[in-house]
Structure 1
Amino acid sequence: MTQQPSSPAATKPIRRVVIAGGGTAGWSVAAAISKVLGKILDITLIESDEIMTVGVGEASIPAMLAFHNLIELNEQEFMAATQATFKLGINFENWRDVKQDYFHSFGHTGIDHWTAGFQHFWHKGVERKLASDFGDYCLELKAAMAGRFAHLPNNKLNYAYHLDATLYAKYLRKMSESFGIKRMEGKINKVETDAATGHITSLRLDSGVNLEADFFIDCTGFRALLIGDAMKVGYQDWSNWLFCDSAVAVQTESVADAIPYTRSIAHEAGWQWRIPLQHRVGNGLVYSTKYINDEDAQKTLLANIQGPLVTQPRIIRFKPGQREATWRGNCVALGLSSGFLEPLESTSIYLIQRNVIRLLQMFPTNGISPTDVAEFNRQSDQEMEHIRDFIILHYHVTNRRDTQFWRDCSSMSIPPSLQHRIDLFRETGRVFRAPNELFAENSWIQVMLGQGIMPQQHHQSADLMGDAELSGFLNNIRSNVSKTVAQLPPHLDYVKRYANGQMRK
């Protein structure tokens, strides 16, 4: 078969790039692309001071550290500029059932054997009454519960951050402009496209400026002006699995020392976040309008916060799901314009920055390759689906039957991919990690055990250990965790000294 020549649009070198929109998404891609490719690209970011960003994605996961290393961000400066604190995981309160909590940490629990994970040996220990709670064997969990933190040698303590999203965008903007990014103030009035190729040719601003480029990055949030309105890329709606469609957010003054973990508190028709920063606390209630109205949701949130209000409650609407394509033609969508998964596992900033890195790995400097576009979309879709399943797990596997919301969550049909993971763990105690999947085996284990799934059996490797050997094995791990935690300083004391430059990492 004779190979057809590529279209002129596909082979045209990319030299001019326009980023539509600021916020965390816009300035994340601006910082990274200017840092890596700024010497060969002309990059402009358009944003309007009149358009308010969502600005509530204030908890992160450890993958953020890799992105910060890429752009050579100074951690101490970043923490001072964004009023950040450290985060070791998430405490899920009332999720398994009312007044039944569990913790999803960023660490690894216990010590695995090459034939089987630690959970099998722990399970055997539970049967023999030799083991304590699963979390007792996890350093990050015990440090979080003790309110302690420090950087340890060899990255022994896995962590992420709580941060002020508005200040974070400002910090990334400052970095980006130092790398040569041009910022243009204005609103986008019209997106011009080429009738023959469907590619975007320019953005017309309210000032009359017509900004042309070879490649466009859509960071316009839920509006999705480029990928949705102009490129006509459809949206996959996942609300049949993820019922929540709204959030009400508010900030409060700090009235207690910042703890090194996020609180996720389940309520009658959704859940509440509590994110402690150095200077304030971020609060919000994620809920489904099918089960609770806005007024009652706001009352629920305000009845469950601490400290005077810094801001007035703000309602945010969303539709869980993703675009049918994240990259179409000469346009890539990042952040909310590409899709949305509620912030239950703090993946919003991760999804932005992971796709930024993916874009840089496949950047079409010499022309857009349909094969690269297809691979980018395949990887993005797969990652969103893995995270989607992980979030559905929290809702579906629950003993709560106290409200219609939770009864419907527990009885809904779930994706076959998730059902397989649940069945595998329940029957055998085994878990697996799909290629390039965000959440590792220990994350799935912590949440499934926390939600009440106890495996029916364990691997036979655990049976080869006698009681004395197994007890010694478990006690040694637990003892080492306790000793390390006891040596750590209080979290907020460490944050203040570290962010003020009084110590080195």
Structure 2
Amino acid sequence: MNNSASLKHIVIAGGGTAGWMAAATLGNIFSASDTQITLIESSQIGTIGVGEATIPPFIAVIESLGIDLVDFIQHTQSSFKWGIQFVDWHTRGQSYFHPFGTLGQSIDGHDFFQCWLKSQTSDHPLPLMAHSKEAALAEHGAFFKPHEAANTPLASAQFALHVDASLVVKYLKRFAMAKGVRHIDAKIAQVKTHPSGDIAALQLDNGQQIEGDFFIDCTGFGGLLIEQTLASGYHDWRMFLPCNKAVTVPTAVSQPLNPFTIATARDAGWTWKIPLQHRTGNGYVFADDFCDDQQALDCLLSSVEEAPLDEPRFIPFRTGVRKQPWKANCLALGLAQGFLEPLESTAIHLVSKSLALFVRMFPSAGNNDILRNEFNRRVQQDYEEIRDFLILHYCETQRDDTDFWRWCQHDMPIPDSLQHKLAFFRHAGGLIPGVETLFQPTSWYAVFNGMGVQPQGYNPTLDALDAERLNLSLQRGAQGIAALAAQQPSHADFLRTYCPAHPPDTLTK
């Protein structure tokens, strides 16, 4: 097969998490080839730092690069995450947990969730999260020893990481450059195009002109290449998700060091609390139609328990996705591709999944319309799935104590795709099967249940099971999970023993 049409030079515009993830991924793939990867960023331009909480697929991404997970955790001062605790979303004073992993096990071939629904008609029903390994470990503030959990139900527990985005960038930068990625510190002064419309080169403020066969836009919300040059267009979803600003502030290490993120509903949005080994990340995502900047800042500062370590920072954003994330010979990643509020920690995942999809559909120097169209369709589908899942956290609220929550309860438009999911679940207590969906049944069931969405009943085939035996099986399973979780070391003790954080400056040595 003739490879003469392969790409010889891929240029990444912009650094940050998205840029250096792209550089690490492509640098790893092409390290032994003659394909050159160049990343251009300016040290004079700050980065937003996409996401400080991740979801389980991120672990696989790190390991697929051949990176030692313990080394990564130590150098990025990461902590572990079993899921997210949602406080005050359905009603004030109520909270629920969205765990990773799966819930229970099938019983005599019957779907576990349907078994649980049937058990709710008994005299002593157990809460749904009693059947989640991750929820039990989170409740105990614990992390398990993987080598000791091999033959127990904990072996299949799924975790993610809380990370310091700036340290992740440094780590991936070092990794990528060791793989041969070329790094240029300069500002992009001009984007030059071919008569065909493809991007030809980037003119830098230092006089250099960097030509390339393919370009990856990681220039943030502005989308210097994908939007300002190629006019991709943007699907604006503010009508569905009204939050359009965030204010953030890091604080000292929180105690206890919880192995989960906390998302607390506030008057005009929600605050996050993300515990790391060396500090705590905090932020308030809000809708400025219902709250001004000073009110948001006052709310955030009054909600933090530890001393601030830096000045608060405001970040405006526009929820949505590019109409063509891959257009001509340019792929947009990260904020240049789109943005969905970080309620379910999906920002870094969208970067890594887009990269994985791009690698699977990797272009040649010829016509790539078929690949490009399918890529764009799939990315759109991914964003719509996450958009719908985020809307579910708002639209089923029973809160009516502020204008924001009254709008969510009564006026928030619900996409047809989510209305269909809600109607199907209320009727059948199940989910419509999807193709490569990010949020698996556990996620939907956790939020449906936490937000008070109840099906009208369980699958009638469950009546073939003996009710007493079914309840006993569920009770034993829950007791086993609780007993195992109680035996595990605390999250803080596990980190101190097995992966204590290294000082941040060790990456430069």
TM-superposed CA distance for 1:334, in Å, is: 0.4
CA contact (8 A) 2:213 2:365 kept: no
Moved more, 151-160 or 322-331: 151-160
1:54 correspondence with 2:48: yes
Q: Aligned to 2:7, which of 14, 28, 47?
A: 14
TM-superposed CA distance for 1:12, in Å, is: 4.8
Amino acid at match of 1:42: Q
Matches of 2:451 and 2:288, distance apart in 1: 25
Moved more, 162-171 or 398-407: 398-407
Amino acid at match of 2:166: T
Compared CA separation, residues 319 and 114, structure 1 to 2 (3 A):
farther
Which ranges of structure 2 fall in alignment gaps of 5 or more residues?
Answer: 503-509
Amino acid at match of 2:359: L
Compared CA separation, residues 114 and 351, structure 1 to 2 (3 A):
farther
Q: Aligned to 1:28, which of 21, 41, 49?
A: 21
Residue matched to 2:161: 161
CA contact (8 A) 1:433 1:440 kept: no
TM-superposed CA distance for 1:432, in Å, is: 2.8
CA contact (8 A) 2:40 2:185 kept: yes
Equivalent residue of 1:364, what SS? coil
Equivalent residue of 1:256, what SS? coil
Provide the TM-score with structure 2 as the length reference. 0.94
CA contact (8 A) 2:129 2:135 kept: yes
Residue matched to 1:272: 271
Matches of 2:30 and 2:449, distance apart in 1: 45
Residue matched to 2:507: none
CA contact (8 A) 2:86 2:97 kept: yes
Moved more, 409-418 or 239-248: 409-418
CA RMSD of aligned residues (A): 1.6
1:132 correspondence with 2:126: yes
Equivalent residue of 1:227, what SS? coil
* 1:239-278 superposed matches below 5 A: 239-278=238-277
Moved more, 364-373 or 243-252: 364-373
Matches of 1:192 and 1:439, distance apart in 2: 40
TM-superposed CA distance for 1:270, in Å, is: 0.1
TM-superposed CA distance for 1:42, in Å, is: 0.7
* 1:104-503 superposed matches below 5 A: 104-113=98-107, 116-150=110-144, 151=146, 152-153=149-150, 155-195=155-195, 197-365=196-364, 367-411=366-410, 412-500=412-500
Moved more, 403-412 or 361-370: 361-370
Compared CA separation, residues 395 and 354, structure 1 to 2 (3 A):
same
Matches of 1:420 and 1:125, distance apart in 2: 26
* 1:64-75 superposed matches below 5 A: 64-75=58-69
1:168-210 per-residue CA deviation (whole Å, 9 max, x = no partner) reads 0000001001100010001111111112x10000001111111
1:328-359 per-residue CA deviation (whole Å, 9 max, x = no partner) reads 01000000000000000000000001111111
CA contact (8 A) 1:14 1:214 kept: yes
TM-superposed CA distance for 1:116, in Å, is: 4.6
Matches of 2:194 and 2:363, distance apart in 1: 19
CA contact (8 A) 1:330 1:368 kept: no
Equivalent residue of 2:401, what SS? coil
Equivalent residue of 2:356, what SS? helix
Provide the TM-score with structure 1 as the length reference. 0.95
Percentage of identical aligned residues: 39
Moved more, 70-79 or 280-289: 70-79
Matches of 2:110 and 2:254, distance apart in 1: 45
TM-superposed CA distance for 1:462, in Å, is: 2.3
CA contact (8 A) 1:109 1:442 kept: yes
Matches of 2:284 and 2:68, distance apart in 1: 33
TM-superposed CA distance for 1:325, in Å, is: 0.6
1:107-149 per-residue CA deviation (whole Å, 9 max, x = no partner) reads 2111135865322211221111232111011110010011000
Matches of 2:260 and 2:303, distance apart in 1: 18
Which ranges of structure 1 fall in alignment gaps of 5 or more residues?
Answer: 1-10
Aligned residues: 491
Compared CA separation, residues 194 and 143, structure 1 to 2 (3 A):
same
Compared CA separation, residues 199 and 88, structure 1 to 2 (3 A):
same
Equivalent residue of 2:85, what SS? strand
TM-superposed CA distance for 1:368, in Å, is: 4.4
Moved more, 130-139 or 213-222: 130-139
Amino acid at match of 1:304: S
Equivalent residue of 2:90, what SS? strand
Moved more, 112-121 or 467-476: 112-121
CA contact (8 A) 2:28 2:176 kept: yes
Amino acid at match of 2:43: D
Compared CA separation, residues 93 and 213, structure 1 to 2 (3 A):
same
Matches of 1:114 and 1:61, distance apart in 2: 31
Equivalent residue of 1:127, what SS? coil
CA contact (8 A) 1:432 1:441 kept: no
Moved more, 264-273 or 47-56: 47-56
CA contact (8 A) 1:19 1:216 kept: yes
CA contact (8 A) 1:359 1:376 kept: yes
Matches of 1:179 and 1:455, distance apart in 2: 52
Matches of 1:383 and 1:124, distance apart in 2: 32
Matches of 1:410 and 1:295, distance apart in 2: 25
Moved more, 339-348 or 143-152: 143-152
CA contact (8 A) 1:250 1:283 kept: yes
TM-superposed CA distance for 1:369, in Å, is: 1.5
CA contact (8 A) 2:244 2:316 kept: yes
